Amino acid sequence: MCCGPMRLSDAIRSVFTEELMDAVNEFVRTSPLNAVPANSVLQTGLDGARLIDDCVFAFGDASDPLFEVQKQPQAVGPQFMAPMEWLPEALSVISFFAPFSETVKASNREIDGFPSGAWLHGRIDGQRVVFAACEFIVDWLKQRGFKAVVPSLDPRFKAVDDIRDEEGQIILEKSFRSNWSERHVAYVCGLGTFALSRGIITEKGISGRVGTIVTNAPLAFTKRPYEGLYDYCNRCGACAKHCPVNAISVEGGKQQIPCWVFLEQTKRTVAPPYFGCGKCQAGVPCESRIPARD
Ligand code: SF4
Ligand code: SF4
The structural domains of the chain, with segments of one domain joined by +, span 5-269
The number of the ligand 1 atom at minimal distance from the alpha carbon of 286 is 6
Pocket test for ligand 1, best of 183, 197, 241, 242 (most atoms within 8 A of CB): 197
Whether 168 has a pLDDT exceeding 70, the answer reads no
pLDDT, tens only, 176-186: 789 999 999 99
Higher-confidence residue: 7 or 78? 78
Does 200 contact ligand 1 (Cβ within 6 A)? no
Confidence at residue 2, expressed as pLDDT on a 0 to 100 scale: 44
Region 77-99: mean pLDDT is: 97
Higher-confidence residue: 259 or 165? 259
CA geometry: angle at 107 spanning 186 and 113, to 5°? 90
Region 86-103: mean pLDDT is: 98
Whether 5 has a pLDDT exceeding 90, the answer reads no
Region 86-108: mean pLDDT is: 98
Rounded distance between C-alpha atoms, residue 5 and residue 145, angstroms: 10
Rounded distance between C-alpha atoms, residue 234 and residue 245, angstroms: 22
Residue 2, phi then psi, degrees to nearest 5: -145, 25
CA of 210 to the centre of ligand 1 (A): 18
Confidence at residue 164, expressed as pLDDT on a 0 to 100 scale: 54
Confidence of residue 269 (pLDDT cuts 50, 70, 90): confident
pLDDT, tens only, 34-47: 999 999 999 899 99
Predicted TM-score (pTM) of the model is 0.93
What are the Cα distances from residue 20, in Å, to 8, 35, 149, 232? 15, 23, 16, 27
